Amino acid sequence: MIEVKQVSKRFGDFTAVRDVSFRVEAGEVYGLLGENGAGKTTTMRMMATILQPTTGDIEISGFSVQRDPVEVRRRIGILFGGDVGLYNRLTARENIAYFGSLYGLEQARLQERIDSLSRMLDMEEFIDRRVGSFSRGMKQKVAIARTLVHDPDVVLLDEPTTGLDVTAANNFRRMVARMQEEGKTILFSSHNMGEINKLCKRVALIHKGSMRFAGTLESMREQYGIHDLDDIFMAVVEGSEN
């Protein structure tokens, strides 16, 4: 479970996130919508304890990011889009194993997790090859395996389908649906409305650091009187600029 409580983040005079609140339940894929630079990544970085909220707090499975950062990190897995954050000179297996051991997984359990993730993500063919030569889709699979190696309760996906081709993006969404069935709490940030429509029931829409909407997709459509999500998004963006 994720609970964001009136969180703000300031960098000097610039307010990146202003008074944002929402709650994500276990077994739910919650959409975090917004343009590039809206404050989605900053919010996720605060959840991952890389940044500290200036005001407010975030609780992950009951642990505060400010008071129990290490407990929070034990329970989350974060996947950044764009830069997948892998070591190119290590093999896929070495990358996953490195993170597994940092999460304190015992050797036998680690091997078991790597084997099962490798099967699940169809990586067996290239698991022992160095990551540097991989395609974007292959790298993304390794990054997902690394994110899930310690079997986290809460999964933060920051624009995870950026740069993936259609097949890889579809496979990825199928994976997210499977994680949801396993009861994981998933926060999915994106500016692709079609993707959000397929995966999420509830969303929060952030624009220029402030929350413009939080609730179900149906209530969003009702509130704006528009069916198409892209049009709603544009209405919010243009509305704030006019």
Partner 1 sequence: MGRRVIWTVFQKELLDLFRDRKTLLGTFLVPLVIIPFVFFLLGMSYSNVEKEARAYVPIAIHGTSGLTAALEKIPGARILQPENAEQALQGGMLRAIVTIPSGFDETIAAGRTGALTVAYDSTNQKSVYARDVIEQTVKAYSQEIVAQRLQHAGLSPKAIEPIASTYQNVATEERLSGGMLAGIIPLMLVVSLASGGVAAANDLVAGEKERGTLESLMTAPIAANHILTAKLLAVMVMSTMSALASLVSVSLVLSFGPLDTEGAGFSLGFFSPATLLVLVLTILLLAAMFAGLELVLSTIAKSFKEGQTYMSGIIFVAMVPSYMLMPLNPVDIPFLYYVLPVFNGVALCKEVFYGRVDPVHGLVGLGTSLLYVVVIIAWSSRLFRREGAVVKN
Q: Quick check: 80 binds partner 1 (CB under 8 A)?
A: yes
Distances (CA, A) of 98 to 55, 103, 133: 34, 9, 19
Token pair recorded at residue 219: 């209530």
Q: Quick check: 74 binds partner 1 (CB under 8 A)?
A: yes
Q: Please report how the helices 166-181 and 136-148 are oriented relative to each other, as an axis angle in degrees rounded to 10.
A: 10
Token pair recorded at residue 54: 């200036």
**Other C-beta atoms within 10 Å of 179: how many?**
19
Token pair recorded at residue 113: 């997790």
Q: Quick check: 141 binds partner 1 (CB under 8 A)?
A: no
Type of residue at 225: G
Q: Quick check: 193 binds partner 1 (CB under 8 A)?
A: no
Our measurement of the distance from residue 98's CA atom to the centroid of its chain's CA atoms, rounded to an integer in Å, reads: 21
Q: Quick check: 103 binds partner 1 (CB under 8 A)?
A: yes
Type of residue at 71: E
Q: Quick check: 239 binds partner 1 (CB under 8 A)?
A: no
- How far is residue 175's CA from residue 190's CA, in Å, rounded to a whole number? 16
Q: Quick check: 146 binds partner 1 (CB under 8 A)?
A: yes
Identify which of residues 82 and 239 has a Cβ nearer to partner 1 in the complex. Answer: 82
Q: What is the DSSP string of 91-108?
A: BHHHHHHHHHHHTT--HH
**Other C-beta atoms within 10 Å of 178: how many?**
11
Choose which of 27, 85, 163, 215 interacts with partner 1 (CB under 8 A): 85
Supply the minimum distance, in Å, between the C-beta of residue 217 and partner 1. Answer: 29
Q: How many residues bind partner 1 (CB under 8 A)?
A: 31
- How far is residue 198's CA from residue 193's CA, in Å, rounded to a whole number? 9
Q: Quick check: 163 binds partner 1 (CB under 8 A)?
A: no
Q: Quick check: 151 binds partner 1 (CB under 8 A)?
A: no
Q: Which window, 43-51, 113-121, 187-195, 225-233, contacts partner 1 (CB under 8 A)?
A: 43-51
Q: Quick check: 22 binds partner 1 (CB under 8 A)?
A: no
Q: Which window, 81-89, 163-171, 221-229, 234-242, contacts partner 1 (CB under 8 A)?
A: 81-89
Supply the minimum distance, in Å, between the C-beta of residue 75 and partner 1. Answer: 9
Q: Quick check: 104 binds partner 1 (CB under 8 A)?
A: yes
DSSP SS3 for 32: strand
Token pair recorded at residue 197: 């429509």
Identify which of residues 51 and 114 has a Cβ nearer to partner 1 in the complex. Answer: 51
Choose which of 33, 65, 84, 176 interacts with partner 1 (CB under 8 A): 84
Q: Residue 42 half-sphere exposure, CB side, CA atoms within 13 Å?
A: 26
Choose which of 49, 118, 161, 190 interacts with partner 1 (CB under 8 A): 49
Give the residues lining the site for partner 1 (CB under 8 A). 45, 48-52, 70-71, 73-74, 76, 78, 80, 82-90, 94, 98-99, 101-104, 130, 146
